[in-house]
Structure 1
Amino acid sequence: MTTNPIIELDRLTKSYGTKKAVDHLSLKVNKGEIFGLLGPNGAGKTTTILMMLGLAEPTSGQAVVCGINATRNPVGVRRKVGYLPDSAGFYDNLTALDNLMYVGRLNGIPEKDIRSRARNTMEMVGLGAEMHKKTGAYSRGMKQRLGLADLLIREPEVMILDEPTLGIDPAGIREFLMLIRQLSRQQELTVLLSSHHLHQMQQICDRVGIFVEGKLLAEGNLETLAGNLFGKDSFVVQVSLREPLTAPVEIERQLLALPGVNKVSITEGNVDMSCSTDITPDIVRFFVRSGLNVTGVHKKEYGLDEIYHRFFEQNTKKYILNEQAV
């Protein structure tokens, strides 16, 4: 993945009266990256997307996408960006292929190329066997795949997906997310995915931004976010032993001497260690060299769910303290 930003938001702000829907949002997304904008409904995610597409004018700040200022040249941005809302709309009385060919014509694809390009795109999103079926008979998941085909036939540089998995069954969601990841990697497509589903974001995104009440509270990959939140206790390693330790105090002392181990808790046949870095191999070697009979090693890494809720806890406390100070 290259490190040149293809999306640059600089203090982007949108106010409605005294309410700030988006509050001085600054963010860079690199080419080929899948970035997740994570937040509850009403956080300002869709407003941000509309400003990126030039469909809403910012109160202040700017959105630059593919080197184009979205406010000054919205048409130029939309030529390079494909947008999939939470519900893709098509003509139900037309086949999926005819719908896609119609989109191709609207986007200036030469008539001699439209049919083959549409068919190839349908194959790409896994709808090759269903291309001659009328769209009215499509399931929601199939319509969202067709929505992806709608974007891809235009050959965009960036795809923006706003809650794209709403109403899709669990198996369909997994297939849909894996398809997005595959397309991004194969074509070096940049993807901005907006959602409030933590598990889905964790499956697919290279980085996420936690977005609440119009503000970006934090952004980074899971390891970075966990490190910022949990600090020296970012990793927890649990070692299970066949029998209880005969000299637990001495073992605890030796484990604490390992670089990166901050806390040790010994209960019966389990040893739990909180670490600032992932030193699981060093811990395993220590137990083996000590002649202790290890039956299992479990490493806990904080997931997006825990990170997200910890950010909410911290920022709620800050809000209450600020209110009390006023």
Structure 2
Amino acid sequence: MIETRGLVKRYGEFTAVDGLDLEVQAGEVFGLLGPNGAGKTTTILMLLGLTEPTEGWIRVLGHDPVRDPIAVKRVTGYLPDNVGFYDDMTGRQNLMYTAELNGIPRREAAAEIDRLLTRVGLAHAADTRVGAYSRGMRQRLGVADVLLKRPRVVIMDEPTLGLDPEGARAFLELIRQLADEGMTVMLSSHLLYQVQEVCDRVAIFVKGQMIACGRVDELADQALAGEPLRLELELAPCSNGLLTALEQLDGVAELQRLGGSGESVRLALVCRKDLRAEVTRAVASHGAAVLHLSQAGRSLDDIYRRYFADGGETGGRSTEGAA
């Protein structure tokens, strides 16, 4: 759906994007992750044909944004971090204006606008002036505005910035629904937990370079190779025999007892590899139940901190998992 090769963007002596090779597949949610100034927004602007690359090439559904930006805009929707609407017009009027700009017949547009306003949870505010909308409502109206022309790719720049936790959660659910329906979504963000929650794959940007790309588990294997991981679990009941069996599993470096109440016991296993399956089997063989099991130390936050702790050098510039 999206492909770049050797993409470079310079502003004078400053290189905003440096040698980007990227592929985004149909139906996935793809995250661009990095701090402000890492090159995420510049990449998006080049994909949309809003700025030209210094070197390299881009294809969006086979279209070249440099030579045919209109074709790209026909098949993509763009939600910037600060959506612009006419505050003195209602939500419905703003969407109708967008429909007119895109040549959608008024009767067809009216039915589609009603459907989209319901979908994004704004049916109750359809005839309220946008100047009275909260930021979350404006963002949801922005999604309706993007979907009105039925794009095949949606690109979002910091879509949850400024939203409260509940608003952000609902917005991420909407993004996931779009992907489940076959739409391709690219979003940029610096909010790690949100990217991890919704994205199928993630590209980490540092100083204009994509230094890693792949699923979160792939990035963990690459960035945290050799580091022990920590399994935290709660069991009931927990016999001495079960504790011994867990401690003797191949790959367990340490067993820590964290506490518990009643028959349940909370433990932590420091492991040299992922032993979740082995732990579950051992617990079942001793007639106990796993009440809780989580793997710590392999979150996107851990991965991100490791890349930056190494000055962005861990693994070098990578396109692992990009194809």
Determine the structure 2 residue equivalent to 1:215: 209
Q: Say yes or no: does 1:106 pair with 2:101.
A: yes
Q: Where does residue 24 of structure 1 map in the other structure?
A: 19
Deviations 1:298-324 (A, max 9, x none): 331411111111111123577xxxxxx
Map Cα deviations across residues 123-151 of structure 1 (whole Å, 9 max, x no partner).
Answer: 12111121111111111110111111110
Q: State the alpha-carbon separation in 2 of the partners of residues 247 and 121 from structure 1.
A: 55
Matching residue of 1:276: 273
Shift of 1:271: 5.8
- Judging changes above 3 Å, is the alpha-carbon distance between structure 1 residues 97 and 283 closer, same or farther for their aligned structure 2 residues? same
Any idea what the Cα deviations from partners look like across 1:181-214, whole Å, max 9, x if unmatched? 112212x111110010111111111111111100
Q: Which residue of 2 aligns with 1:196?
A: 190
Gaps of 5+ in 1: 1-5, 319-326
User: Paired residue for 2:224, among 224, 230, 241?
Assistant: 230
1:164 aligned to 156, 159, 167, which one?
159
Give the residue type in structure 2 aligned to 1:264: A
| Counterpart in the other structure of 1:3 | none
Match of 1:314 in 2: 310
Q: Which of 274, 285, 289 is equivalent to 2:281?
A: 285
1:69 partner SS: coil
Name which of structure 1's ranges 295-304 and 28-37 shifts more when overlaid on structure 2: 295-304
The alpha-carbon deviation at position 74 of structure 1 amounts to 0.9
Deviations 1:50-85 (A, max 9, x none): 110111110100111011011111111011111111
SS at match of 1:255: coil
Name the counterpart of 1:56.
Answer: 51
Partner residue in 1 for 2:112: 117
Greater Cα shift, 34-43 or 85-94: 85-94
- Which aligned segments of 4 or more residues in structure 1 are displaced greater than 4 angstroms? 232-235, 238-248, 267-271, 291-297
Letter of the 2:277 counterpart? P
**Aligned partners of 1:64, 1:233: CA distance in 2, in Å?**
39
Q: How does 1:122-133 map to 2 (within 5 A)?
A: 122-133=117-128
C-alpha root-mean-square deviation of aligned residues, in Å? 2.5
C-alpha deviation, 1:98, in angstroms: 0.8
Relative to structure 1, is the Cα distance of residues 297 and 247 closer, same or farther in structure 2, using a 3 angstrom cutoff? closer
Bigger shift: 30-39 or 128-137? 128-137
The aligned counterpart of 1:180 is: 175
- What secondary structure, in the 3-state scheme, does the structure 1 residue paired with 2:104 have? coil
Q: How far is 1:112 from its partner?
A: 2.7
- CA–CA distance in structure 1, aligned partners of residues 293 and 70 of structure 2: 52
1:147-195 Cα offsets, whole Å, 9 max, x none, are: 1111000110111100111221111111111112112212x11111001
CA distance in 1, matches of 2:200, 2:307: 19
What is the letter of the counterpart of residue 274 of structure 1?
A: C
Superposed CA deviations along residues 240-260 of structure 1, whole A, max 9, x for unmatched, are 675767996x975x422xxxx
Aligned partner letter, 2:303: I
Which letter maps to 1:28? E
Quick one: distance in 2 between partners of 1:97 and 1:316?
46
Kept after mapping to 2: 8 A contact 1:21/1:47: yes
Other structure's SS at 1:160 match? strand
- From 119, 134, 142, the equivalent of 1:139 is 134
The alpha-carbon distance between structure 1 residues 29 and 247, as it changes in their structure 2 partners (threshold 3 A), is closer
CA contact (8 A) 2:206 2:312 kept: no
> Contact between 2:117 and 2:123, CA under 8 Å: does it hold in 1?
yes
Deviation, structure 1 residue 113: 1.4
**Letter aligned with residue 230 of structure 2:** V
How many Å separate the matches in 2 of 1:55 and 1:295?
Answer: 53
Cα 1:268/1:145, change in 2 over 3 Å: closer
Query: 2:307, 2:313 within 8 Å by CA — same for their partners in 1?
Result: no
Q: Distance in 2 between matches of 1:172 and 1:85?
A: 17
Q: Is the contact between residue 253 and residue 272 of structure 2 (CA under 8 Å) also seen in structure 1?
A: no
CA–CA distance in structure 1, aligned partners of residues 4 and 160 of structure 2: 25
In 2, Cα distance between the equivalents of 1:123 and 1:223? 36
Q: Equivalent residues in 2 for 1:77-116 (5 A)?
A: 77-116=72-111
Gaps of 5+ in 2: 259-266, 315-323
The Cα shift of 1:236 comes to: 2.9
1:39 corresponds in structure 2 to 34
Identity of aligned residues (%): 44
For residues 110 and 37 of structure 1, the distance between their equivalents in structure 2, rounded to whole angstroms, comes to 36
The structure-2 alpha-carbon separation of the partners of 1:276 and 1:139, relative to structure 1 and needing over 3 Å to count, comes to same
Following TM superposition, by how much is the alpha carbon of 1:93 offset from its aligned partner in structure 2, in angstroms?
1.2
Mapped to 2, the partners of 1:236 and 1:284 lie a distance apart of: 15
